[in-house]
Amino acid sequence: MKQSKKSSTCWVGFDLGGSKMMATVFDHAFNIVAFERKKTRGEIGMEAGLARMAKTIQSALDQAGQKQENLSGIGVGCPGPLDLDKGVIIDTPNIGWREVPVKAYMEKTFSCPAVIANDVDAGTYGEYRFGAARKARCVLGVFPGTGIGGACIYEGRIFRGRTGSCMELGHFPVCPQGAMAGPGRYGTLESMTSRLALASQAAMTAYRGQAPALMRMAGTNVADIKSGILARAIEEGDTIIEELVRRTAAQLGMTLAGVINLLAPDVVVLGGGLVEAMPALYLEEVKQALTSHAMPAYAKEARVVTAELGDNACVMGAAALVADAERAAA
């Protein structure tokens, strides 16, 4: 689907999601030229998966009317632990691929530079470059959804570890007696405030007859209780669902207060499925929790906003990362 006029040279941003992958072609002003989506299909294995990624990129280039020789670089946003220097996905828990040499494969296939980044890092970088956090000195990105994704952009660079990404906010321990989040890990922020945790609690209220609207729309199947369903249940009068969402948003904000005391960000960007479905509620509760629990000077300086780029944040950030790297090296 074309979005703007054909350009002579272009960048590609790629989002390797858990269920879907997306390649987006940008001109050098970062206008969207074309994009292509396909199912990720992790069951096909690593080699076939890389070939599917390349096919998705080639399809987007074809739609944009671009040849491979016009491609200036590819940025890929990936889930899972990464070796950022080598450009390797160490593990993708939701897809089942391990030790995937994405950077080398893309550079060989398309004869252009490539970089990989954590998908939340790429999305936050996209908001820093083009969205809700433009010109910020320190950006904290927080994306509550199925899990809790976190990232920090400090003075224009992704805050990272020696070889991989960091800012795993979802794994912060917040309540030792809390629910299990993974093997041997209990009471993490993710186990308390993610969409999956919220859906589990909501299902129990539906089962007890306390959330009739939710029961009618989704029943008690946790997999069916998506962010939009929770928002609709609140609109249709399930006050207990609103209470649950507010409590989890407040817990998120309380934990973020500690992060703000460490980083003193000037912008906190909230994104992800839960925030997109209920932006006013999340902003209200997170802001109130930050005001109550962060150091007053830091809380005052931290502007809390919702993300602006939606599904394009990761692809825009990934494309900008490879473009900025090439420009810095020139």
Backbone φ and ψ for 58, nearest 5 degrees, come out as -60, -40
Looking at residue 173, the DSSP 8-state letter turns out to be B
In the prediction, which pLDDT does 184 show? Answer: 63
Q: Is the pLDDT of residue 93 over 90?
A: no
| CATH number of the CATH domain containing 137 | 3.30.420.40
Query: Percent of the chain scored above 70 by pLDDT?
Result: 95
Q: Is the pLDDT of residue 6 over 70?
A: no
223 with 145, same domain? Answer: yes
In the prediction, which pLDDT does 4 show? Answer: 42
In the prediction, which pLDDT does 5 show? Answer: 41
CA distance 76 to 322: 9
**Residue 2 is assigned to a structural domain of this protein:** no
Query: Percent of the chain scored above 90 by pLDDT?
Result: 80
Burial (CB < 10 A; 0-12, 13-18, 19+), residue 283, is middle
* CA dihedral sign of residues 168, 15, 286, 252: negative
**Residue 115 is assigned to a structural domain of this protein:** yes
In the prediction, which pLDDT does 131 show? Answer: 97
302 with 320, same domain? Answer: no
In the prediction, which pLDDT does 43 show? Answer: 61
In the prediction, which pLDDT does 183 show? Answer: 59
151 with 265, same domain? Answer: yes
pLDDT tens-digit map of 247-258:
999 999 999 999
161 with 289, same domain? Answer: yes
CA distance 255 to 31: 36
**Residue 81 is assigned to a structural domain of this protein:** yes
In the prediction, which pLDDT does 300 show? Answer: 94
Give this prediction's pTM: 0.92
Range of lowest pLDDT (107-116, 182-191, 198-207, 288-297): 182-191
**Residue 108 is assigned to a structural domain of this protein:** yes
**Residue 1 is assigned to a structural domain of this protein:** no
In the prediction, which pLDDT does 8 show? Answer: 55
**Residue 99 is assigned to a structural domain of this protein:** yes
CB 256 within 8 A of CB 270: no
Backbone φ and ψ for 290, nearest 5 degrees, come out as -65, -45
161 with 102, same domain? Answer: no
Tally of CB atoms within 10 A around 324: 17
221 with 282, same domain? Answer: yes
Ordered DSSP codes for 224-235:
G--HHHHHHHHH
pLDDT tens-digit map of 128-153:
999 999 999 999 999 998 889 999 99
Stretch 115-125: mean pLDDT: 96
Range of lowest pLDDT (175-184, 186-195, 299-308): 175-184
**Residue 44 is assigned to a structural domain of this protein:** yes
- Number of independent structural domains in the chain: 2
Structure tokens at 55: 């096919």
**Distance, C-alpha 197 to centroid of its chain:** 18
Structure tokens at 161: 């570890």
87 with 233, same domain? Answer: no
218 with 182, same domain? Answer: yes
Range of lowest pLDDT (77-81, 92-96, 292-296): 92-96
In the prediction, which pLDDT does 106 show? Answer: 98
pLDDT band for position 83 (cuts 50, 70, 90): very high
212 with 83, same domain? Answer: no
**Residue 185 is assigned to a structural domain of this protein:** yes
112 with 154, same domain? Answer: no
Q: Are strands 71-78 and 114-118 parallel, antiparallel or unpaired?
A: parallel
- Please provide the average confidence, as pLDDT, over all residues in the chain: 92
pLDDT band for position 204 (cuts 50, 70, 90): very high
20 with 107, same domain? Answer: yes
Q: Is the pLDDT of residue 19 over 90?
A: no
pLDDT tens-digit map of 23-64:
999 998 999 999 999 988 666 788 888 999 999 999 999 999
Tell me the C-alpha to C-alpha distance, in Å, between residue 55 and each of 19, 21, 62: 16, 11, 10
In the prediction, which pLDDT does 295 show? Answer: 97
Q: Is the pLDDT of residue 2 over 60?
A: no
In the prediction, which pLDDT does 145 show? Answer: 87
278 with 317, same domain? Answer: no
Helix, strand and coil in the chain, % to nearest 5: 45, 25, 30
Q: Is the pLDDT of residue 120 over 60?
A: yes
Domain range for residue 188? Answer: 132-306
| Amino acid (one-letter) located at 211 | A
pLDDT band for position 179 (cuts 50, 70, 90): confident
Helix and strand counts by DSSP (H, E) for the chain: 12, 15
